[in-house]
Every structure is written in C-alpha cells, then in structure tokens.
Chain A
Amino acid sequence: MITAEVILAASEGANPLLPNWWEVLVTAVAFAVLLFVVKKFIAPAFEKSYTDRVEAIEGGIEKAEEAQAEANALLEQYKAQLMEARTEANSIRETAREEGAQILEDLKAKAAEESARITAQAQVQIESERVAAVNSLRTEVGTLATSLAGKIVGEALEDDARSNRVVERFLADLENQQNAGVSK
C-alpha cells in the first residue's frame, strides 16, 4: 500500500532542522521575559520562604533543646532536694531518738537522786527526834521519879541531906545504866 512514491512524497516535507525564524525570535524573547520574572519575583520569594523555614525549624530545635536542658536541670535539682530532705529527715529522727534516750536517762537519775535525798532527810529527822525524845525523857523521868518517890516515902524524905544523897545515887545509877545501854 505504501509505495516508494508515497515515501518520497512524504520526505519532501519541511526539513525539520531548518528553523522558522519567527519561532526563534518568539522563543528567545519569551524565555528572556520568563527569566526576568523568575529572577525578579519568583526566585527571591522561594529563597525567602526557604530561609524562613530553615530558621523556623532550626529555631524550633534550639528551643526544644533549651527546654529539654532546663527540664533536665530541674529534675536534677528536685532529685538533689529530695535526697537532702531524706537525709535531713533521717538525721532528725536519729537526733530525736538520742534526745529521748537522754531525757529518759536524766529522769531516771533525777528520780533516784530524789528518793535518796528523801530517805536521807527522813533518817536525819528520825535521828534528831530520837535525840530530842531521849533528852526530854531524861529530864522528865528525873522529876517524875523524884515526885513519885516523894509521895511514896512521905516525910522520910524531909531530911534534905538524906534525900539529896538518895537522888544523887539514883541518878548516878540511872546514868550508869544508860551509859551501859549506849555502849552496849
């Protein structure tokens, strides 16, 4: 169907390598206009957008890093504070225990001292009362005995010389007796 003549006829078409000069002109001018527009308006806008984004992202990362560092510092601080508080609580507890023991010890000592003091005081009092009783007894017994003996013997005792001698002797005996009791 496709004969040699047809192919020959087809090859008589325009040479594709020969330009239409109008096309050359239009393309060159159109490209120049495009280049101008791109250089003047489009490229700067894209570059600016690009720079802004880089800045925003890098700024954001920096900010995040800062926040992270701050958070870490705070955490460290809290941990240190917690540790400190714990140590302090322990030491307070320890001190309280020691103080309690000390107070108990003191109270015990004080009580013992007090009781000893009371005991001693009582003994002193008893001793002094005994001495007083002995003294008063000594005087009263003499008088009582004399008056009793007088009543019993009556006028026999009118003779002063004799009665004096008797009382003297009695008291001496009594004294001897007492001395013997004390030494005994």
Chain B
Amino acid sequence: MTAFALPMASNDGGFIPPTISDTHVPDILPWMAEYGTGFGKQMLLVILSVVLIAWFFKVAIRKPKLVPGRVQFFAEGVYSFARNTVGRDIMGEKNFRPWIPLLFSVFTFVLLNNLFGAIPFLQIPSFSHAGSAYALAAIIYFTWIGVGVQKHGIRYFKLAVVPTGVPGWILPLLVPLEIISNFIVRPLTHSLRLMATMLAGHMIVVLAGSGAAYLITQQDNILLNATGVAVIAGSVAMYGLELLIMVLQAFVFTLLTAIYIQGSLEADAH
C-alpha cells in the first residue's frame, strides 16, 4: 500500500519522510481525485463500521440464550462494559438507563474505527482524520448542552459556569475560566485527544513502513538493509502499543461522554 501512496525517494535519492497528506489516500469518488474533494477510503470505512457493528450485535443477540455461546458471550461482554463499567459506574443507578444506547454506540463506533488502523489493508484509524473526530465530539457536545438545558432550563448555563461555595470577589476570574474550560476547551480536547493519538499511531506505522521499505529497497549497503528489517521488527512492538492505545482511547472517549452528560444532569448538585 505504501508503495503507491508514499513517494519514497526524492530525485537525489534521499529519504523523504511521509507527511500528514500521506494519511489521506486519494478519493474513490471521483476516482483518484485529490484528498478532500470527494468520497474516500476513510468514509467507506466509517460506513463499513456501522454496518459491521449493527450486523454483528444483531446476529449475536438474535437468539439469546440464558447460557450464552461464545459469540453471545463476547457481545454481551462489550455491551455490559458500555452499560455497567462506563454507564452505571459513572452516571449512577438513577440516570444511566436512557443513555445506554448512546454510550454503547459511541464505544463500539470509536473502538471499531480505531481498530481499522490495526487491520492490514484497511489500515487507517478513521478518527485519525480530524473531520470524524470533530463530528462525533460535536454530537456529544450538543447532546450534553441539550441535556443540561432540558433539565435545568436556561439556568443551566449559570450552573455550569458559576461555581458555588467560592467567595464573590473571585468570580470575575473564575467565570471566564469556567466558560473557556467547559464550552470551548472541552469539545476540542474531547475530539483532538482521539484524533491526535490515532494520527500519531498511524504516522508511526506509515513512517516505519516507508522507512523500512526505503532502507531495504533503495540502499545497497547490506547493513542498512538489515536495519530496515530491524525497523519492521520494532514496528511490531509499536503495533502492539497502538492496539492498546486504540482500545484505551475508545474507552476514554466513551468515559468522557458519560462524565459530560452526568455533569449536565447533576449540574445543580455541586
């Protein structure tokens, strides 16, 4: 894949490191158009993820048994992770039930799209593209603001930015900070944390791949060729680390979703 996607050697034969642009393969529709003008691989994968998630969990629970089989057991494990570990533990017994579908969707959606980066030939974590991360974070941003307004009315914005139990003279300092932290920084960190980790992981894979390819195919020195093999070996360890980060970021993203919504529901409690 890297062979056609990445220009490996410049005219003078030096190594050109892959750039951010290389994480965007040309669009499919219109065919081979430049990135950003049409329908690309990343979007195909996003749609594929929805189909896969819906299909897998639908099939896994089609004939539920009291003593689950292997597939049902796995599916229920994922579901109860989103439901209990994230939903119930964060939002509490009282609030969590209506939010199970959202948390489950967010978790599986982010998890599978991240794992795409670890599957050969698919090999791109969808959220390494900022657009996807912004979209999902925005949905959640408007969700928790909507929840707050619905629950507390317009008073919610006061609850969200004016901390209680602090002396009045410090409020002029605190309120702007709270506004920035809650309504501006929060959605940015929420989306960029996911995007940056995925992009970085993807760049490492691309860099290792192109570097190894360059060292092995473009160099005549046998020692440098051997170094290329060593790079591949090292990238396997990076691959393992990436897998961990992919799962962890899916968890973190879902966890933050739950925390934000919980914060809106209980805005008057603190």
- Chain A interface residues (CB < 8 Å from chain B): 1-3, 6-7, 9-28, 30-35, 37-39, 41-43, 45-50, 52-53, 56
Contact = CB atoms under 8 A, between A and B. Distances in A.
Contacts of B22: 13
26 contacts: A13-B20, A14-B36, A19-B130, A20-B24, A20-B131, A22-B38, A22-B131, A23-B46, A24-B134, A24-B135, A25-B135, A27-B131, A28-B135, A28-B139, A31-B50, A34-B105, A34-B108, A37-B58, A39-B105, A41-B54, A42-B101, A43-B79, A45-B64, A48-B64, A49-B76, A50-B76
Interface residues of B, number: 57
B57 interface: yes
B162 interface: no
B153 to A, nearest CB: 26
Contact of A6 (B17, B24, B40): B17
Interface of B: 10, 14-24, 35-36, 38-40, 42-43, 46-47, 49-50, 53-54, 57-58, 61-62, 64, 66, 72, 75-76, 79-80, 83, 100-102, 104-105, 108-109, 126, 129-132, 134-136, 138-139, 192, 195, 199
**Ranked 8 nearest A-B pairs via Cβ:** A23-B131, A19-B131, A13-B19, A13-B21, A49-B64, A27-B135, A39-B101, A27-B132
Nearest to A39: B101
B115 to A, nearest CB: 15
A18 B151 CA distance: 34
B238 to A, nearest CB: 19
Contact of B54 (A6, A26, A42): A42
Per DSSP, chain A at the interface is helix
Contacts of A48: 64
Nearest to A56: B66
A11 B50 CA distance: 34
Nearest to A9: B16
Contacts of B21: 13-14
Given A16-B199, A19-B129, A43-B101, A49 B61 contact: yes
Contacts of A42: 54, 57-58, 61, 79, 101, 104
Given A6-B10, A30-B49, A45-B61, A14 B24 contact: yes
Contacts of A32: 139
Contacts, number: 154
Given A6-B15, A20-B35, A46-B79, 8 more contacts: A1-B15, A13-B20, A14-B36, A27-B131, A27-B135, A32-B139, A34-B53, A42-B104
A46 B23 CA distance: 37
A30 B79 contact: no
Contacts of A38: 54, 57, 101, 104-105
A35 B61 contact: no
A45 B80 CA distance: 13
Given A16-B199, A35-B105, A30 B134 contact: no
A35 B134 contact: no
Contact of B136 (A10, A31, A41, A49): A31
A3 to B, nearest CB: 7
Nearest to B80: A50
B50 A33 contact: yes
Contacts of A19: 129-131, 134-135
A88 B195 CA distance: 88
A53 B129 contact: no
B124 to A, nearest CB: 12
A63 to B, nearest CB: 14
A17 B23 CA distance: 13
A159 B136 CA distance: 182
Contact of B20 (A14, A22, A23): A14
A34 B135 CA distance: 14
A10 B131 contact: no
A16 B139 contact: no
Contacts of B14: 1-3, 6
B168 to A, nearest CB: 39
Contacts of A20: 24, 35-36, 40, 129, 131
A10 B19 contact: yes
A13 B24 CA distance: 10
